[in-house]
Structure 1
Amino acid sequence: MQVDKGLVRELAELLKETDLTEIEVVDGERRVRVARQFPAQNAVVTAPAPVQVSAPAAAPAAAAAPAAAAAPAEADLSKHPGVVTSPMVGTAYMAPEPGKPPFVTVGAQVKEGQTLLIIEAMKVMNPITAPRAGTVTRIMVSNEQPVEFGEPLLIIE
């Protein structure tokens, strides 16, 4: 399968300009999806995120190379002693409702049991609470971002 690098770059730029976290384009049986791993306000590196390209039969091989390159950085975060991971698949919400301030920000002091964010799964809002007291040193998800089971959400030190 030939990957249109120009299209991928154009989609990555569109993500950056619009502050979206994911975009997908479908053209017949060919599908190109570009997603950022970190929100723009928390990103350390401003390079475009890994790209997943899907098409019949050739999709897994095309997507494997970018995912493998991103794996070492993610693995380090998941082993951090203060990492808070997602207990479920769903959508992360950083504030109690639209337009309200987020539950926590980087540098915030949190108490054990304090709500850090909400994950919506099957129309149920599940509060994710601090497993211990400390300082939020890194937030790795953005508002309305889909999250997977075990995905690092934030770090409390």
Structure 2
Amino acid sequence: MKIDKKIIKELSDYLDEFNLTELEYTEKDTKIKVSKNNISINNQTNQTLSKEISSNKNLESQNNISGIEVTSPIIGTAYHAPEPGAKKFVEVGKKIKKGDTVMIVEAMKTMNHVPSSSDGIVKQILVADGQPVEFGQTLIILE
């Protein structure tokens, strides 16, 4: 079997372009899976933020603080505002209604609005602006 390096290079470029860690391509009987372990300054910042979030979650569980979680419907990059410099969709302490946009998750250059799953007051925002998020990851907590 001859390996087409051009396809692998193109898939690798997509990993960087769309900020992905893994990509799978299938054509007829050929299946190519490309993945990477992304270690960069930006990723180190995200790791630090993740540690802070974990610490906050540990504090929450110690204090028995609970709330309604609004989660990401897709994998992508979370943004707090519709464009750089614009007013944020939500801030801690803001009262929101079911269906209000709480963030945008960008995936493959498509901006997807994330609606609130219920009425409430924003207790905590768990992701930084521009942070990669996973499917089902908690974005905010409501009271």
**Which residue does the alignment assign to 2:77?**
91
C-alpha displacement of 1:96: 0.8
**Which residue does the alignment assign to 2:136?**
150
Q: Does 1:128 align with 2:114?
A: yes
- Deviation track 1:59-93 (CA, whole Å, cap 9, x = no partner) reads xxxxxxxxxx87x849x6xxx55011111110000
**Gap regions ≥5 residues in structure 2:** 1-37
Counterpart Cα distance in 2 of 1:142 and 1:23: 18
Query: Which is higher, the Rg of structure 1 or of structure 2?
Result: 2
TM-score, scaled relative to structure 2: 0.59
Root-mean-square deviation over aligned CA pairs: 2.8
Runs of 4+ in 1 over 4 A off after TM superposition: none
**Which residue does the alignment assign to 1:112?**
98
TM-score, scaled relative to structure 1: 0.54
Tell me the SS of whatever aligns to 2:105: strand
Counterpart Cα distance in 1 of 2:48 and 2:137: 14
Counterpart Cα distance in 1 of 2:113 and 2:128: 15
CA spacing shift, 1:89–1:134, aligned 2, 3 Å: same
With a CA cutoff of 8 Å and minimum separation of 6, indicate the structure with the bigger relative contact order: 2
Q: What number of residue pairs does the alignment pair up?
A: 97
**Which residue does the alignment assign to 1:24?**
40
C-alpha displacement of 1:142: 1.0
Counterpart Cα distance in 2 of 1:87 and 1:110: 19
Counterpart Cα distance in 2 of 1:156 and 1:81: 5
Identical residues among aligned pairs (%): 43
CA spacing shift, 1:23–1:115, aligned 2, 3 Å: same
C-alpha displacement of 1:23: 6.6
Tell me the SS of whatever aligns to 2:78: strand
C-alpha displacement of 1:105: 0.2
